[in-house]
Amino acid sequence: MSEYKYGTETDFKNDSKIKDAKKSSDNNIIKLGFPSLSTTIGQIPIEEAVHIACEVIKEFLNSHKNDLDFQLILIDQDDQILKSFESEWEKFKDSEESRFQMKLGKFAEIIIESEIGYIVNESTWRLKPVIGSKLFEEIKRLYPKPGIMGEAYPVPIPSDNEFWKKGVKQTQFLSKLQKMPLRNLINRC
């Protein structure tokens, strides 16, 4: 059994929170939003980050063809980064176009506009103004020790948080990248 939350595809399919999300969704699609996890903050060259991310996204889509109705949504406010992703994704896409999308804009705004129920983001003090003090304190309570680079930490969104009111029920916080291979990071989510 893997040390990560989803050691097998069966673990992922049988997670009650995911089943509940699927049941409660208006269109039965679980939406997972995530930033490009690459260049600006992580200082990973665009070409490397984009290629590795597209490989991992494709692997994930292929390994979950028949088990869940979901959509992965990559969000970035840098038009050039998204153009790089779009160009690279052309080499990988096939019948999976509807399960992976890219959206240009501010992360919090796209999450709300697109009714995304789950998000993945870097764990950082910079998020405090966006996520609110209560959620930030909950993160510190759940995970009092510094996070391990590359690990994902699930945190439920409190019901009085703006994200909850807009349909986001959980976030996965990631410890900041230090030029670690993006493939390892995404595989751990």
Q: Phi and psi dihedrals of 136, rounded to 5? A: -60, -40
Is position 99 within any domain?
Answer: yes
Residue 88: CB atoms within 10 A of its CB come to: 19
Residue 40 lies in a domain: yes
- For the cut 70, the answer to whether the pLDDT of residue 178 exceeds it is no
Let me know if residue 2 belongs to a domain: no
Least confident of 35-44, 69-78, 82-91, 97-106: 35-44
pTM exceeds 0.85 for this model:
no
Residue 91: which region, alpha, beta or left (left: phi > 0; alpha: psi -120 to 50)? Answer: alpha
Pair of tokens at residue 174: 């990631």
Write out pLDDT tens, residues 19-60.
444 333 445 788 888 887 655 555 677 888 888 888 888 888
Q: Which is more confidently placed, 22 or 171?
A: 171
- On the question of pLDDT at 107 being above 80, the answer is yes
Percent of the chain with pLDDT over 70: 61
Domain count, the chain: 1
Report if residue 32 sits inside a domain.
Answer: yes
pLDDT of residue 88: 93
Count how many Cα atoms sit within 13 Å of the Cα of residue 152 in the half-sphere of its side chain: 20
Q: Confirm whether 165 is domain-assigned.
A: yes
Residue 4 lies in a domain: no
| Residue at 1 is within a domain | no
pLDDT for residue 3: 32
Q: Which domain holds residue 67?
A: 9-187
Read off the pLDDT band of 104 (50, 70, 90). very high
Please, which residues have CB within 8 angstroms of residue 189's CB and are 6 or more apart in sequence?
120, 152, 172, 174
Place of tokens 């993006």: 182
